């Protein structure tokens, strides 16, 4: 994805946050106030942040799915990056869009220097997402109880990791 896709990205992201608040650590309320320039910056590639990028799945110029990677840049943790913001619009669910996005992310990661492992979190009970991540090689390494609180209800986050090297 590129900064030119910012409006579509922002709209789909807000849709995901609003429709599935328990699936994300970000909230629709917080994100709705961000200007379009925030999304443009997020979708911009930066030489100093080579492990940060976002992918989108389009059909007939309509954005149906998104996923991102965020690197860590402190000296002692540069070998790690986190898969973030995975969301597929309900009308594309079950069509393979999520798998295609994740597989493309892994292909791009394979070209990046220095990365040795990826991590992500998935809300406990989201068997469909956890199954997809497991099918792509991610393994559970723990659970953070009460990781997020939405509408007075707590949700645990399952932590998963993929070793690349």
Count structural domains, the chain: 1
Q: Is the pLDDT of residue 165 over 90?
A: no
Looking at residue 109, its pLDDT comes to: 97
Rounded to whole angstroms, the Cα distance separating 116 from 80 reads 6
97-109 vs 127-135: helix axis angle to the nearest 10? Answer: 40
Q: What contacts 24+ positions apart, CB below 8 Å, involve 14-22?
A: 15/87, 15/89, 16/66, 16/87, 19/90, 20/87, 21/150, 21/151, 22/123, 22/148, 22/150, 22/153, 22/155
Looking at residue 111, its pLDDT comes to: 93
Per-residue model confidence as pLDDT tens digits over 49-81: 999 999 999 999 999 999 999 999 999 999 999
The domain in which residue 135 lies consists of 3-163
Residue carrying structure tokens 């990791």: 161
Give the burial class of 61: count Cβ atoms within 10 A of its Cβ; 0-12 exposed, 13-18 middle, 19 or more buried.
exposed
Looking at residue 79, its pLDDT comes to: 96
Query: What's the CATH number where 29 sits?
Result: 3.40.630.30
Per-residue model confidence as pLDDT tens digits over 108-125: 999 999 999 999 999 999
Mean pLDDT of 133-139: 98
Mean pLDDT of 87-97: 94
> What b-and-e string marks burial along 28-53, b requiring 16 or more CB atoms within 10 Å of the CB?
beebeeeeeeebbebbeeeeeebbbb
């Amino acid at each position: 994805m590129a900064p030119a896709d910012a409006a579509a990205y922002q709209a789909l992201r807000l849709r995901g946050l609003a429709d599935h608040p328990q699936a994300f650590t970000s909230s629709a309320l917080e994100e709705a106030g961000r200007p379009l320039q925030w999304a443009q910056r997020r979708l911009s590639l930066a030489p100093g942040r080579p492990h940060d990028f976002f992918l989108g799945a389009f059909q007939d110029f309509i954005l149906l799915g998104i996923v991102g990677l965020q690197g860590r840049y402190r000296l002692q943790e540069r070998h790690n990056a986190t898969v973030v913001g995975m969301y597929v619009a309900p009308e594309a669910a079950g069509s393979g869009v999520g798998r295609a996005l994740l597989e493309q992310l892994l292909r791009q990661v394979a070209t990046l220097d220095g990365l040795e492992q990826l991590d992500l979190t998935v809300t406990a009970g989201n068997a469909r997402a956890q199954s997809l991540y497991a099918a792509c090689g991610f393994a559970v390494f723990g659970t953070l109880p009460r990781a997020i609180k939405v509408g007075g209800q707590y949700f645990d986050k399952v932590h998963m990791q993929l070793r690349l090297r």
